[in-house]
Amino acid sequence: MRSVSLTTVLASLAASALTTAAWSQCDVTPPSGTLTLDNNQCGATPDANGGCNASPAVFSDLGSIGSGATMTVAGKMGLYIPSGATTYTTRDLDWYLVSAPAGTLQVSLTTQNSGATGQLPNSIIFIKKNVGADPCLGNFDVGFQSTACPHVQSITAAAGTHMIVVTVPFDTTAGTTTAQACGTYLMTLTHTPLQFAVCGTSTESCTAAHSTGGCNLPGCCDQVCSFNPLCCDIAWDQGCVDTAVDQCGLFIYSCAPPAGAPANDCAISSQLITVGQQNVIANNQNAGTDGPGPVASACAAAMGKDLWYTIKAPGNGALTLTTCPTGDATTDTVIEVYGLGLDPVMTASRAQSLPDLFIGCVDDTCGIVAGPSAFTLIDAVQDEFYLVRIGGWYDETAGGANTADVFAVTVETSFEYVVFTTGSQHYIVASGANTNLGLSSGCVSATLTQRWLAQPFSVPSTSASWDVKRITAKGFVPAGTTNANLNYTVWRRNSGNPAPVAADQLVAGSVAFPVPYDNAADDAATASHDIVTNFSLNSGDYYLTVYGSSDGCPTTLSNFAWFISAWEGINLIDAQGAHTWRSATFPTPGFARYTLPAQYVQQPNADPNDLYNTAFDIFGAPTAAPSCPADFNNDGVRNGLDLTVMLSSWGTPAGDVNGDGTTNGLDLTVLLSGWGNCPG
C-alpha cells in the first residue's frame, strides 16, 4: 500500500533524550562545497521537495556519497502561514534521496530559528533505508524528535538509496509557533564503511547457522564479526548466531516448559479465550519464557514467565484486555499483542516471526506504579485473531527473565463495536500546500461563542439500539486557546429540518479534556481524543457536535479544531454543492450552511465532496431487541399504563419503539396492534 503522507508514520515517533544544547553547538554556517538547493524553500507552494506529501511525489536527489565521505546540505524548515491564512497552520518538510555504499550513514542536523537568535526548539529526522522504485512504500526505520543540537541519527545498511526527511513538530501550542517559524539548518551526512564487506552483500539469516561468512543484517553482522572475525571470514556457525542474538537483540523461538508449568506456557500452546469470558485466571507460577526480548519485540518493558492467549475479534472495533480489577502493587504485569490475521494456529516455525507480528505492549497502565496493565487495540478487525502475551516485569540490570514477577490475576476482556466511523483523517491542499486543517469548535472569539459544527452519522439497523460507550474525535488545540473540557451533543437528523435546532437535541455530555494519542492511519499526529460516554441510540440518522470549552467565555477562549477530510463520512450536499452546518451562537441564529474559501481543496486523488467530513469514530455495543415492544414498565402487558408513557413522550425519543428516533403515530400503531398480554 502506497503511503502518501509522512504523518501516517508519526505513531512510531520515538522521543530521544531531550537536552538543551549550547548555541555554540548549533552552527549553521555552510562549509565550502555545501549543497544549497533552489527547491528547498520553507513555505513555498507548491512544495518542490514535498516528497510523499506531494502528488506526484517529489524529492531532492543528493546523488551519491562516497565510502567514508561527508556531504553537507543547507536548507530551511519550520512552521509557516499559508497563503490566505493568518496563523501558523502548516509545516515544511524536506525530503531527500541519497545513494550510499554499504555502511553506516549518519545524519547530523544543526538549526537556527527565524530570528537567528538560537536553535529551533525541536527538530525531527526520519530515515528509510534501501528504498525501492517507489520511495513512499513502507515505513521509516528511524524517526526521532529531539531538542539536542546537533540532532544526530544514523542507519547501517547494504548499498542502496536511502530517504531522509527533516522537519519540526506540528506544534501550534501557545508560545511555540513563532519559535518554530521557518529557520535555517545545516545537514551533514557522514558515511562510514563496514569493517567486513561481506556484511553488505550476504543474504543469509543472522539467526541460522550457515557455511558461508556474514549475514543479512549489515549492522549486526559487522558487530558480531568485530567480536569474532571468523564469522565473516570462514562461516556463520552457531557461536555466531548466539552472539548475534545476545548482542543485537535478535530472536530465536524455542520453548521448554519447566516442571509444573501452566498449559499455556508456550506461544504454540496458547489458551483460546472469547470476549467477555469469565474466570480467565493468569497464574505464571512455574512458567518459563519463550517470547521475544524487549529489543526484538520493540516493547520498552522486559517481561518473563509469560503466558499466552488467543482471542478473536467479534467485529471491527476496540478490543480491551485488562488485569486491572484484581491487580495491585504486588502484581507487575506486562501485556503484548501480536496479529495473527485469519489463522489462529501458531507453530514453532511461525513463532519465529513473532517480532514481525508484534502490534504493541503496555506496562503499568492501571494507575499503579509497578502494577497491573490493560491493553486496548483500537482497530481490531472482525474475525481476525490476536495472540496475547501476559508476563511479569523484570529489571534487565538485575537479572534475566527468570527473575520476572510472579502473579495470579483475572484477565478480563471487553469489546466496543464500531457503531459509526468516518475513517482516517487526511490532509487537504491549502493554496497549493498540503496541510492538516481543522474547523474551530468552541468559544473561539467574543462574537463566536458557540462556534459549533453538526456532522451527520448513522446508527446501523443491525440492532434495534446501541449503547454508545466512546466517541473518538480527531483534531488539535490551536494556539492561544485553553480547553478544560471536550463536549458532545447528539441531534436527531431528519429531512424536514436539515440543520439541527434546539428541539432536535437528544443527548449532551462533557469530559475533562482528554490526552490525545496517535492512530497511524491518520495524516496528523496525536489527533485522537477519546470521550467516554454512556447513552443509548436507536438505529437511525443523527448529527454529532464536538467542541472545546473552559470557564470564562469569551474572556478565556476555547477551541477544538476538528480535522476535516475524512473520506468515509456522510456528505452534506445540496443544490450548491458540498458544505457543512456551522453556528456562531446557539440557538440563535443557530446552524447555517458553511463552505471554506476557494484556496482550500481536496487532494487530487480525493472526492471533493468529502472535504467537510470531520473525522470521528463512535464505539458501543448492540442491545437486544425488546421481546415486547412498547411494554415500557416490563409488566408483561401492553395497556393503558404504557399508553400514558407513550403519549407523555410524544415528539421525543423516550417512547420510540420503531427506531426512527421520535415518538409518533408509527409507535402508537405498534402499541395498539399488540394491545394485551405480551407473547410467551
Confirm whether 255 is domain-assigned.
no
Residues 435 and 576 in one domain: yes
Nearest by Cα to 353 from 155, 241, 207: 207
Confirm whether 402 is domain-assigned.
yes
pLDDT tens digits, residue range 400-435? 888 899 999 999 999 999 999 999 999 898 887 888
Given the DSSP bridges, would you call strands 637-638 and 90-91 parallel, antiparallel or unpaired? unpaired
Given the DSSP bridges, would you call strands 103-112 and 183-193 parallel, antiparallel or unpaired? antiparallel
Residues 570 and 435 in one domain: yes
Picking from 173, 193, 213, the residue at the C-terminal end of a domain is 193
Nearest by Cα to 87 from 176, 183, 185: 176
Q: How confident is the model at residue 10, as a pLDDT?
A: 30
Instruction: Give the C-alpha separation, 343 to 276, whole Å.
Output: 21
**Does 104 score more than 70 pLDDT?**
yes
User: How far apart, in Å, are the Cα atoms of 336 and each of 269, 312, 351, 406, 492?
Assistant: 16, 15, 14, 17, 41
Confirm whether 323 is domain-assigned.
yes
Confirm whether 258 is domain-assigned.
no
Share of the chain above pLDDT 90, in %: 57
Instruction: Give the C-alpha separation, 12 to 124, whole Å.
Output: 13
Q: Which segment of 175-179, 300-304, 497-501 scores lowest on mean pLDDT?
A: 175-179
Residues 473 and 604 in one domain: yes
The residue among 22 and 492 whose pLDDT is bigger is 492
Confirm whether 262 is domain-assigned.
no
Confirm whether 201 is domain-assigned.
yes
For residue 654, give its domain range.
628-677
Residues 64 and 188 in one domain: yes
Is residue 478 helix, strand or coil? coil
Instruction: Give the C-alpha separation, 149 to 418, whole Å.
Output: 44
Instruction: Give the C-alpha separation, 150 to 154, whole Å.
Output: 13
DSSP assignment of 453-477: EEEEEEE-TTSSEEEEEEEEEEEE-
Residues 406 and 484 in one domain: no
Confirm whether 261 is domain-assigned.
no
Residues 284 and 302 in one domain: yes
Q: Provide mean pLDDT across the span 534-553.
A: 93
Q: Which DSSP letter does residue 384 get?
A: -
Q: Provide mean pLDDT across the span 356-363.
A: 87
Average pLDDT score over the chain: 87
Residues 464 and 605 in one domain: yes
Task: Give residue 667's pLDDT band: very low, low, confident or very high (50, 70, 90).
Answer: confident
| Locus of grid cell 459509526 | 420
Specify which residues 99 forms β-bridges with.
Answer: 64, 161
Confirm whether 540 is domain-assigned.
yes
pLDDT tens digits, residue range 277-334? 999 999 999 999 999 887 666 676 889 999 999 999 998 888 999 998 877 777 889 9
pLDDT tens digits, residue range 28-56? 999 999 999 877 888 877 888 889 888 78
Residues 55 and 70 in one domain: yes
CATH of the domain at 185: 2.60.120.380
Task: Give residue 19's pLDDT band: very low, low, confident or very high (50, 70, 90).
Answer: very low
Residues 295 and 354 in one domain: yes
Task: Give residue 171's pLDDT band: very low, low, confident or very high (50, 70, 90).
Answer: low
**Does 21 score more than 50 pLDDT?**
no
Residues 340 and 472 in one domain: no
Instruction: Give the C-alpha separation, 314 to 343, whole Å.
Output: 15
Instruction: Give the C-alpha separation, 424 to 564, whole Å.
Output: 10
pLDDT tens digits, residue range 217-270? 999 999 999 999 999 999 999 999 999 988 888 888 999 999 999 999 999 999
Number of domains in the chain: 5
Share of the chain above pLDDT 70, in %: 92
**Does 654 score more than 80 pLDDT?**
no
Q: How confident is the model at residue 177, as a pLDDT?
A: 57
Mind spelling out the 3-state secondary structure of 13-48? CEECCCCCCCHHHCCCCCCCCCEECCCCCCCCCCCC
pLDDT tens digits, residue range 437-477? 999 999 999 999 999 999 999 998 777 789 999 999 999 99
**Does 89 score more than 80 pLDDT?**
no
Instruction: Give the C-alpha separation, 7 to 522, whole Å.
Output: 7
Q: How confident is the model at residue 11, as a pLDDT?
A: 27
Question: 456 and 590 in contact (C-beta within 8 Å)?
Answer: no
Residues 223 and 88 in one domain: no
Mind spelling out the 3-state secondary structure of 511-569? EECCCCECCCCCCCCCCEEEEEEEEEEECEEEEEEEEEECCCCCCCCCCCEEECCECCC
> H or E segment at 52?
none
Residues 61 and 132 in one domain: yes
Mind spelling out the 3-state secondary structure of 67-86? CCCEEEEEEEECEECCCCCC
Q: How confident is the model at residue 405, as a pLDDT?
A: 92
Q: How confident is the model at residue 360, as a pLDDT?
A: 86
**Does 590 score more than 70 pLDDT?**
yes
CATH of the domain at 655: 1.10.1330.10
CATH of the domain at 374: 2.60.120
Task: Give residue 16's pLDDT band: very low, low, confident or very high (50, 70, 90).
Answer: very low
